[in-house]
Structure 1
Amino acid sequence: MESIRVGIVADPAAPTVIARRLTDLSPLDGRDAWDITVVSEPFTTGSEDVDTAVGRLQDHARRQDWDLVVGLTELPLHDHEGRHLLVESDPQRQAAVLSLPALGGLRMQTRARRAVRSLVSDMADPSTRTEHQTTLPRLRGRWRLLSGMVLANRPWLLVPGLKSALVAALATGAVATVNSTVWLLASSLSWWRLVVATIASIALVVAWLIIDGELWDRPDDDSPRARERSRLYNASTVVTLLVGMLICYAALYVVNLAWAFFVLDSDVISSSVNAPVGHSDLFVLTWFVASAATVGGGLGSGLESDEAIRAAAYSKREQDRRDRLARAGDR
């Protein structure tokens, strides 16, 4: 039985990792086996048009002598009416593009495996070779696409991407923890003021990162499609930074709490604030210190290079796109 030669062309980074775990795919109906080859290449770079991407995939198939080809991209796909797409396939040309962010932020590997198997099975079966699109629901699909883009950005990379800011925040927190004025302020704040301080500190740092790093995306033109794309990219950037800063905030809190339990004496604090202080009050003190240290550390983010900030905020696909736009602007 002759096997079907299948090519998977994947954008660099996460899509390539996912694609390389799909080489063992096989049909579920016992038909011809699949011989799968993976190529890592930014095949969507330089074009936001899905038809162009499908054409490039077909060129790959001709050069590599593949029977059919599937592209995995971090690019959000849209139809001509502006609706978000999961899949654009052209079985007549034996090519399909799968938007990984449209799979959502959870179990992406499992969902990608299921989607690619379905695409290959449909294109390999002559009786089902009809062109089709898989459209996401407008509201729920938008959130699903956004969560997938945030996952592709890997917000946890913001922590090593802001080394200088974290060092500045830790230094600020260490000094503030042993300051009697900070003790007085922390003891006088109600829980809702502490919540507001937390939200405000994280929001300020996120705003500073966006402004200082010039992370805000602007539409290529005045078309509704371009504006919608920019809104989507900007939303993913903001959510990515918020998640990354929440991780940083939690890390600061844990470190400052350990520092407070190590160096502070409840009796000393009690005499300073003229009120009894227990170990539970150190959690409140650390909460306030973490908010103040977050703002102080945010200033240190200016010491980081733009590349470090953008690497933490953008997926590889978005970095390629923004670099292309920057080069076009310079010309």
Structure 2
Amino acid sequence: MMADPAAPTKIARLLSDIQPPSGDDREGWDIELVSEPFAMDCEDVETALARLRDHARQHEWDIVIGLTELPFRDEDDGRYLLAETDPRQRTAVLSLPALGGFAMRERARHAVRAIVSGMADHAAARQSEPMPRFTSRWRLLVGMVLANRPWLLVPGLKSALVAALATGAVATINSTVWLLAGSLSPWRLIVATIASIALVVAWLVIDGELWDRPDDSSADARERSRLYNTSTLITLTIGVIICYLALYIVNLSWALFVLDPAVMGGYLHTTLGYGDLFVLSWFVASAATVGGALGTGLESEEAIRAAAYSKREEERRNRLASERT
């Protein structure tokens, strides 16, 4: 098995105990794992298969299966591929995002077993039910988003996190913020939430140069860019929403610890209760999220891409950025 670095290699290591198809000689069965970016700079499945065939000849492997986070499309009908095999050369490539992102170990194990069984014996392959070759666009998209690990976006942007926490801490004890929060109706607070999240996502895309542009004017290139951009927007939106909820919890805890609504109400000449702290924390979370966006300006483009993408996609984006410069 050849696997792209990072996540594909981790999954490949979990599959190193796969047994040979029934009836095969277990004494002569041996699995070798090579972690190498065989699909890092290619966008078509034929190129990936050609590289795997070269490695198979060099290492004298009987069967070679490549694991990658790269999405592939069939050039004939435009559908997205789960796996592509070359039975004659006993070579196959498996697109991990096409598995959907959930229960990856079990799904990858099942897929690899099906590929091995299909290529180990041509007669058996004709008699057995083949593994599905295609996957849906939405299943692939979910797999790409989960591969990007959106829950790690904020920890990966330390300057943004510090800026957001500092903004929230200061705003929580500011009397003007209290007055603004108390004057806003629920629908305006909702609009502020949506606007702050959208602003941060847009700023990350612009500041980190995360928008993918087609390599040429072909339909395949445009569709590939749409897929990458959709996964980017979903990844960033989920990551920023997680940040927003975390900031709300932190700000609410801070407010409950340091503030006395009665004292603040006397200072503002109004009646306040602990319920108002929840509204205050809601408004402060929006302000702190925007403050976090300003903090991303202190991060390098490489740091933003590292926080927003999987290892394979991060290296792909860095390569494209270097080519443009």
TM-score where L is the length of structure 1: 0.91
Percent sequence identity over aligned pairs: 68
Runs of 4+ in 1 over 6 A off after TM superposition: 130-133
Match of 1:241 in 2: 236
- The size of the alignment, in residue pairs, is 319
Match of 2:275 in 1: 280
Structure 2: gaps (5+ residues): none
DSSP-derived class of the 1:147 partner: helix
Pick which of 188-197 and 316-325 moved more.
316-325
Matched, 1:17 2:13: no
Matched, 1:165 2:160: yes
Match of 1:102 in 2: 98
Matched, 1:289 2:284: yes
> Taking structure 1 as reference, are residues 108 and 132 closer, same or farther at Cα in structure 2, changes over 3 Å only?
closer
Match of 2:19 in 1: 26
Matched, 1:92 2:85: no
Q: How does 1:119-130 map to 2 (within 5 A)?
A: 119-129=115-125
Q: How does 1:58-77 map to 2 (within 5 A)?
A: 58-77=53-72
Match of 2:194 in 1: 199
Distance, in Å, in 2 between the alignment partners of 1:209 and 1:43 is 29
Match of 1:180 in 2: 175
> Taking structure 1 as reference, are residues 132 and 247 closer, same or farther at Cα in structure 2, changes over 3 Å only?
closer
Cα deviation for residue 174 of structure 1 reads 1.0
Structure 1: gaps (5+ residues): 1-7
Distance, in Å, in 1 between the alignment partners of 2:160 and 2:54 is 46
DSSP-derived class of the 1:35 partner: coil
1:145 counterpart (140, 147, 152)? 140
Distance, in Å, in 2 between the alignment partners of 1:13 and 1:165 is 25
**Which amino acid letter does the alignment assign opposite residue 93 of structure 1?**
Q
**Which amino acid letter does the alignment assign opposite residue 118 of structure 1?**
A
Q: How does 1:305-316 map to 2 (within 5 A)?
A: 305-316=300-311
Question: Residues 96 and 143 of structure 2 are in contact (CA less than 8 Å); yes or no, is this contact kept in structure 1?
Answer: yes
Pick which of 307-316 and 125-134 moved more.
125-134
Distance, in Å, in 1 between the alignment partners of 2:314 and 2:177 is 42
**Which amino acid letter does the alignment assign opposite residue 207 of structure 2?**
D
In terms of fraction of residues, the more strand-rich structure is: 1
Distance, in Å, in 1 between the alignment partners of 2:204 and 2:195 is 14
Match of 1:118 in 2: 114
Match of 2:223 in 1: 228
Distance, in Å, in 1 between the alignment partners of 2:182 and 2:147 is 41
Question: Residues 154 and 160 of structure 2 are in contact (CA less than 8 Å); yes or no, is this contact kept in structure 1?
Answer: no
Distance, in Å, in 2 between the alignment partners of 1:165 and 1:53 is 38
DSSP-derived class of the 1:109 partner: helix
**What per-residue deviation string (whole Å, max 9, x for no partner) do you get for residues 177-198 of structure 1?**
1111111121222222212111
Match of 1:3 in 2: none
> Taking structure 1 as reference, are residues 309 and 240 closer, same or farther at Cα in structure 2, changes over 3 Å only?
same
Distance, in Å, in 2 between the alignment partners of 1:308 and 1:325 is 15
Distance, in Å, in 2 between the alignment partners of 1:325 and 1:275 is 57
Distance, in Å, in 2 between the alignment partners of 1:287 and 1:45 is 42
Question: Residues 89 and 132 of structure 1 are in contact (CA less than 8 Å); yes or no, is this contact kept in structure 2?
Answer: no
